[in-house]
Structure 1
Amino acid sequence: MGSSSRSAQQLVLLGIILLATNPFGVQARTLKIHKLEKLSQDEEYVHSHLRFAEFEENVLKVSGELNLHHHLDNDWVIEFKVSQEKDGNYERLFLLETKVCDFMESYYKDFFYERIKDYSNAPHPGNCPLPKEHYRLEDYPLDVHVLKKLMTPGQYRIKYKLKNDDKVILSYMAEVEVD
């Protein structure tokens, strides 16, 4: 998700990181991404593609692209929700809703930019509004070893939406299992 493409990928990663709440000290042995699905995409604004591949034990290679047809500013909103399955239903653990430029100046700058800049044409965190661009992320090595030790076992659903005037422009959903 270039900035937006990077945002989607980064938000999926942030979701996994945020799932690392383990109040009982249980250590997970495996982390599996069962599904990564693009739920919607308004091609007038954006075209995206995101993929994960297992590279080696505990390391996933993350790649993706985002062809952004319009600039993104604080009129655009990122929504990120993490839910955990409890008794057949998913209960929300975390909800983040933030404007794009605010996201760039905080979460993106603090958690993602330094990690992904060598694997992408990611914009600098201070570069907002985000310009129309074809953003790419190539073979970013996501080490899930630490996350597996921190996450509580269970089924998780991570949803990401990019919205403009409450209209969903892009959305992804990931289903993750921790044993």
Structure 2
Amino acid sequence: VFSEESGFTKSFLSDSALTVVLDPVDGSTNASRGIPFSAISCALIRGDELLGGYVGELTNGSTYWSLRGEGAYWNGNQIHVQARERSLSKSVVAVNGYPPRHLGWGQFRAFGSAALELCMVASSQLDAFVDFSYSGLATWDYLAGVAIIEEAGAFAKVIDP
């Protein structure tokens, strides 16, 4: 198990062993303040291969999960990112950190749980998620969400500034 609490770093990960990447409370600031937007986030990897993800919302019981090649699911129903022809000015984008300037989208939201925000992209509730934080998100913050959005037909891209 690789998590914020484990004390392990990526250098401990084996290329052949199955590894669970866990965030027991993604959105811990929200949870500590009684804001109902936090989740358990769990990804399964083997080396660099992302095999699946599970995100369970802690206050309302909503669940998202995926397995490589088996699709993505929200509360047991298969989900796909809806293809939309939408200009950036009409998009709703979730962000982590502060955008450096207005980038042209219609609206943005900062919910505080990257895993859940990525799942909201997978279920087409949001059009995108962008991390603007200076230090970037940790692997356990986003990996399960990435597994889910990829199986739902979206993509994830890490761009170093």
TM range (shorter): under 0.3
- Which structure is higher in strand share? 1
Higher relative contact order, structure no. (Cα contacts within 8 Å, ≥ 6 residues apart): 1
> TM-score, normalising length from structure 1?
0.23
